[in-house]
Amino acid sequence: MVERLLATFWGAGILPAWLFAVWAAVGQAHAGQSLFWLQTDGTTSQLGSVQNPQVTVATGQSALLYLWLDKDSISYGFDGISFDVRLIGSDGGQATAGISFDEPPGRWYGTSGGAARTDSGGQGVDDCNAIDLTNTDTLSADPLRLAALTVTGNAAGTVQLFLCIGSMGIADGGNNAVVWLGLANGSTAPDTQLINGGVPNLCSTIPEATITIVTPFTGDFDHDNDVDQEDFAHLQLCLTGSATPLTDPACADANLNGDAFVDDSDVAMFMACLSGPGATPPPQCH
């Protein structure tokens, strides 16, 4: 009776899409359950011990996150799924995200692998990729790594990354597929929001990753948050003197004062920020 009434409200447009998704998912939780989550380890599943990752990246640098899939039965439980990656910044944080699917080989469509894109948030969801995972496919491993995400910091601040079901939704082939996107906040358990095949354009309510983007320290060429002998080795290799303009693009970061040379002026700026291994450089070196 309850099921019939809720279905009637859904058909009349009274029941919100997200609530119908939760009701339908709970009612069919025994069939086609799938969990997608992010972790920094691309080699071994950490399901059961990992939480939604928090990573730090310098502006202009990138961090790798890996999308993993766990399925509780041999079949995938859905015919296809549309994925989106939403980035929402705060405190001025800006980033781009690229996604490249690697399992099963060749079984995905949409944006070309690794294509970088930005998303300012809001209500709309733009498809990043639609994956064709048919019920006849079997997992090469379970859990398995499904894709790699490259997140590049563009401006200092905080960026939250959300996984979303895109406008193409989930094709469940009549198997009542249920999908969890990510893990609950501060937990190793799946998020409580369940999404079924009838509801497109829905993102997780909890960010699957939080990226802190920082301005690198002057002279911290290897971006390990100190200025030490390893950084000085890079500066030495890039020295040109005051008479020879810099031409090697790999040494552009060693031109600390922004002129055409890597010379004693740059060495002086470097020495003012020298901190030693594992020590934070002075605040003025940001």
- By the 10 Å C-beta count (0-12 exposed, 13-18 middle, 19+ buried), 189 is classed as exposed
| Residue 108 vs residue 180, higher pLDDT | 180
Residue count of the chain: 286
Interval 230-257: pLDDT, tens = 999 999 999 999 999 999 999 999 999 9
Predicted confidence (pLDDT) at residue 81 exceeds the cutoff of 80:
no
Tell me the mean pLDDT in the region 49-59: 92
User: pLDDT at position 21, please?
Assistant: 43
Nearest to 232 by CA among 252, 265, 254: 254
User: pLDDT at position 124, please?
Assistant: 44
Lowest mean pLDDT among 38-42, 161-165, 216-220, 259-263: 161-165
Q: What is the DSSP string of 200-227?
A: -SEE-SS-SEEEEEEPPPTT-TT-SS--
Interval 112-165: pLDDT, tens = 444 455 554 444 455 555 666 655 566 667 788 888 888 889 888 999 999 888
Tell me the mean pLDDT in the region 12-40: 56
Q: Domains of the chain: which residue ranges?
A: 21-214, 229-285
Q: How far is CA 252 from CA 91, 262, 274, in A?
A: 28, 9, 19
Asked if CATH classification 3.30.70 holds for the domain at 21-214, the reply, yes or no, is no
DSSP state of 284: G
